[in-house]
Amino acid sequence: MKIATFNINNVKRRLPNLLRFLHAAKPDVVCLQELKCTDAEFPAQAFEDAGYGAVWRGQKTWNGVAILARDAEPVLIRTALPGDRDDNEARYIEAAVNGVIVTSLYLPNGNPQPGPKFDYKLDWFRRLRLHAAKFLKQDVPVVLAGDYNVAPTELDIYPTRSWDKDALIQPKSRAAFKSLVAQGWRDAIRECHPSKPMFTFWDYKRNRWPRDAGLRLDHLLLSPAVARSLRRSAARGRLGRSSSPMSPR
């Protein structure tokens, strides 16, 4: 099974890019973030025509998440992260695809920090850890895929001091990600490339794309049941905002 995560940053505007990716790479599962469309505007027919079933939760202007499955219909499990009934942001969706539970999550950016947005980011991480722990207790095959908005280590950002005050690399952000992984999840990229800089996001300013000045913000965390069958993983963000595929057997 080949799984990719892709922050599409407006699914309607970048639909041709995504369809080209589906045709060329033929991923079995694609987790999308930042749809920037309502439920009714989601281009489900275009994906169906391309051979992909879909589940999604849209949101006007911002956020929105979806899961696509090739030659299959994802079985929707939930459309929100548990733990806060007042949280109405469309940042989490969970479905079963061919016996594997897959998430598409879009963790809050957290800027500016410190402040309420950073507090929301850390609390969202807390809720994710609580929910993720249940999967490990059940010992089921799970892939927590999505845009975590965290560059976990110095290896996951190009040499620079320009991001030092950004929420993406703050010690508390990195500690929250590390705490999640420490539950027993395996970082697919680092399992296959333990010491190689690999990026999934490039800011469009200051010539960062041409000089490969990127960050690794998009991750696939694997439960032990999935990690045992991991064959390869690679960051290939140049298809768009980000796309990080992994292939378990």
> Which amino acid, one-letter code, is at 28?
D
Q: What whole-number distance in Å separates Cα of residue 57 and Cα of residue 216?
A: 25
Which H, E and C letters describe 21-55, residue by residue? HHHHHCCCEEEEECCCCCCCCCCHHHHHHCCEEEE
pLDDT of 127 > 90? The answer is yes
> Which amino acid, one-letter code, is at 129?
R
Q: Which two tokens stand for residue 74?
A: 């994802």
Q: What whole-number distance in Å separates Cα of residue 236 and Cα of residue 240?
A: 9
Residue tagged 């950004």 (tokens):
166
2-48 pLDDT, tens per residue? 999 999 999 999 999 999 999 999 999 999 999 999 999 999 999 99
Cα angle 221-227-231, degrees, rounded to a multiple of 5: 105
Q: Which two tokens stand for residue 214?
A: 């990127």
Confidence of residue 58 (pLDDT cuts 50, 70, 90): very high
Task: Determine the pLDDT at residue 245.
Answer: 53
72-122 pLDDT, tens per residue? 999 999 999 999 999 999 999 999 999 999 999 999 999 999 999 999 999
pLDDT of 132 > 70? The answer is yes
Q: Mean pLDDT across the stretch 152-180?
A: 97
Q: What whole-number distance in Å separates Cα of residue 240 and Cα of residue 21?
A: 10
* CATH no. for 3-248: 3.60.10.10
